[in-house]
Amino acid sequence: IRYLGDLTPLQESCLIRLRQWLQETHKGKIPKDQHVLRFLKARDFNMDKAKDFLCQSLTWRKQHQVDFLMDTWERPQLLQDYYTGGWHHHDRDGRPLYVLRLGQMDTKGLVRALGEEALLRQVLTLNEEGLRRCEENTRVFGRPISCWTCLVDLEGLNMRHLWRPGVKALLRIIEVVEANYPETLGRLLILRAPRVFPVLWTLVSPLINENTRKKFLVYAGNDFQGHGGLEDYINREVIPDFLGGNCMCDLPEGGTVPKSLYRTAEELENEENCFLTDSIYKSANIFKGAPYEVLIEITEASSVITWDFDVSKGDVVFNIYHSRRAPQPPKRDTLGAHGIASLGPVNTQLIDRSWVLGRDYSMVEKALICREGESVQGSHITRWPGFYILQWRFHSSTTSTASSLPRVDDVLASLQVSSHKCKIMYYTEVLASHDFRGSMTSLESCQSGFSQLSAATTSSGQSCASSTVSR
């Protein structure tokens, strides 16, 4: 018990009993006492709760061979070049110190180029490395060191970092870490927090354990300098150079991941996800005369519909419509327009052909023409409950102005064009308005996508589309 810290007789008894139970019932590798103790602490030494918590994690570790992760996983070169984090000496208490320059990291580029799986493996590897470093520092300092300190520099953080699929990936990673590495974070120092930080905190904090949240210290601007700042927790001689110290911190500079390295929706979907069950992206084909539509039911006005999509082939027109009644998907055996059977796969078209725009449904965003290769992000604040339809349709740059009947050659050419398809990969999510109303009020001067989420919608039938769409 020498390196486990000061335990009361009751706490020591709990540790001994849980360890004995594992030896009697658990098949496989028995974790070290330090590991068992973390799960007991996380459940306030409640034996039953700690037992369930620990067993779920041990099953997860065995299922995904986490014990061998550091020896078997090779970090992609992209992570070595663009992931702006690394271990850097230790804090005043002897805890290993991890430094992350999040504001300099292209989170969207990393998710799009590598997928969530690789980023999660990166974070898990860091946690496994952290456990090893705690053991080493315990031996070096001759006292129990069971957790590490993380320093996060947010200089450069902007609305790009609030790209919703990236935040979604972060939340899923936090869930995995919280479930399997309890009581490993000793302190989190957040430096140079910009005005956009409250939004990110609103998104992330609900998933973080209350005990963990108490370990967060946030400094805006240069508040980390001087009394009560960084030097209270880290020796002056190891403060990184980019924070005004004299110690060189060898981290990748980060920068923007080239779009040429982005992976397609098919590649992300077909990736063998061991730790995650699905991809956050979906792919869709759009044919001429057969738009692709996504139905979203909204029960509370002022909810926020967000989207992010890339046009990987062809040109498309993007629209958002609203209807007070639910659209009925057409039957599979329904013929297409003019009684001509479809020549290819048919997308589910939600807007009935008999519906009249302005009577049965309305357009709530100005139509957006999106060219091949473009990446589009945006949001819409809903004015009314009901059914919203996101629609992507084939866009042709040529339109016929002839009033006479079409020639046979024109019909055949049209059919040939219609056999061509556009392709998109997309992500959409609905956010409750109350989650953002408070944290967004300080960001109204920002000029990017999510800066307008808390603004009231005043124009008739429109929602500030121009200010909430970026490419």
CATH of the domain at 426: 2.60.120.680
Candidate from 49-53, 218-222, 331-335, 393-397 with smallest mean pLDDT:
331-335
Position 290 confidence tier, pLDDT thresholds 50, 70, 90: confident
* Mean per-residue pLDDT over the chain, rounded: 79
User: Are 292 and 229 members of one domain?
Assistant: no
C-alpha triplet 363, 364, 370: angle, nearest 5°: 80
Same domain, 52 and 79: no
* 251 and 287 belong to one structural domain: no
Is residue 115 domain-resident? Answer: yes
Domain-embedded: residue 275: no
Query: For the chain, what is the domain count?
Result: 3
Residue 38 belongs to domain spanning:
2-63
91 and 38 belong to one structural domain: no
Is position 401 within any domain?
no
Q: Are residues 302 and 362 in the same domain?
A: yes
As given in the structure block, the two tokens for residue 340 are: 């001509």
- Is residue 405 pLDDT above 60, yes or no? no
What is the chain's percent helix, strand, coil content, to nearest 5?
Answer: 40, 20, 40
Tokens 């061998």: give the residue.
68
Question: Is 111 domain-assigned?
Answer: yes
Encoding tokens for residue 420? 């061509």
CB 364 within 8 A of CB 380: yes
On whether residue 276 sits in a domain, the answer given is no
**Structure-token pair, residue 296:** 């979203």
Distance from C-alpha of 325 to C-alpha of 361, rounded to nearest angstrom: 9
29 and 148, same domain (yes or no): no
- Contact present, 130 and 69 (Cβ < 8 Å): no
- For the residues 385-397, what does the mean pLDDT come to? 89
Tell me the pTM.
Answer: 0.65
pLDDT over 90 at 367, yes or no: yes
* pLDDT at residue number 470: 55
Closest by CA position to 110, among listed 69, 71, 161: 161
233, 353: one domain: no
Tokens of 206: 């609900």
Give the domain CATH number at 18: 1.10.8.20
What are the residues whose beta carbons fall under 8 Å from the beta carbon of 222, sequence distance 6 or more?
A: 192
CB of 463 within 8 A of CB of 383?
Answer: yes
Same domain, residue pair 55 and 148: no
Residues 35 and 171 in one domain: no
* Model confidence band, residue 2 (pLDDT cutoffs 50, 70, 90): low
Q: What is the pLDDT of residues 258-285, one digit of tens each?
A: 999 998 877 776 766 666 555 567 888 8
* pLDDT number for residue 140: 94
Q: Is residue 10 part of a domain?
A: yes
Average pLDDT over residues 228-233: 91
Contact 288, 411 (CB under 8 A): no
Residues pairing with 255 in the sheet: 105
Give a yes or no: residue 109 inside a domain.
yes
Higher pLDDT pick, 228 / 130: 130
For the segment 27-39, what is each residue's pLDDT rounded down to a tens digit? 667 888 999 999 9
Q: Which of 11, 31, 63 is the last residue of a domain?
A: 63
Q: Which of 202-206, 208-212, 435-439, 456-460 has the lowest mean pLDDT?
A: 456-460
Taking the alpha carbons at both ends of the chain, their separation in whole angstroms is 57
**Which one of 229, 260, 291 terminates a domain?**
260
> Residues of the chain with pLDDT > 70: what percent?
78
Compute the distance between CA of residue 437 and CA of residue 302 in angstroms, rounded to an integer: 10
Question: Using an 8 Å Cβ cutoff, are 300 and 385 in contact?
Answer: yes
- Other beta carbons within 10 Å of 448: 16
φ, ψ of residue 87 in degrees (nearest 5): -80, 145
Cα–Cα distance, 239 to 359 (Å, whole number):
65
Considering the domain boundaries, does residue 233 fall inside one?
Answer: yes
- Which residue shows structure tokens 């309305």? 362
Say whether 466 sits in a helix, a strand or coil: helix
Chain centroid to Cα 161, Å, comes to 10
Mean pLDDT over 193-201 rounds to 84
| Residue 115 belongs to domain with CATH number | 3.40.525.10
Q: Are residues 72 and 114 in the same domain?
A: yes
Helical spans, DSSP H, in 308-372: none
One domain, residues 153 and 254: yes
C-alpha to C-alpha distance for 195 and 200, rounded to whole angstroms: 10
Environment class of 440 (CB within 10 Å of its CB; exposed 0-12, middle 13-18, buried 19+): buried
Rounded-to-integer distance, Cα 162 and Cα 172, Å: 15
Q: Within this chain, do residues 295 and 356 fall inside the same structural domain, yes or no?
A: yes
Confidence at residue 267, expressed as pLDDT on a 0 to 100 scale:
78
Sign of the torsion formed by the C-alpha atoms of 132, 135, 136 and 137 = positive
The pLDDT of residue 27 is: 60
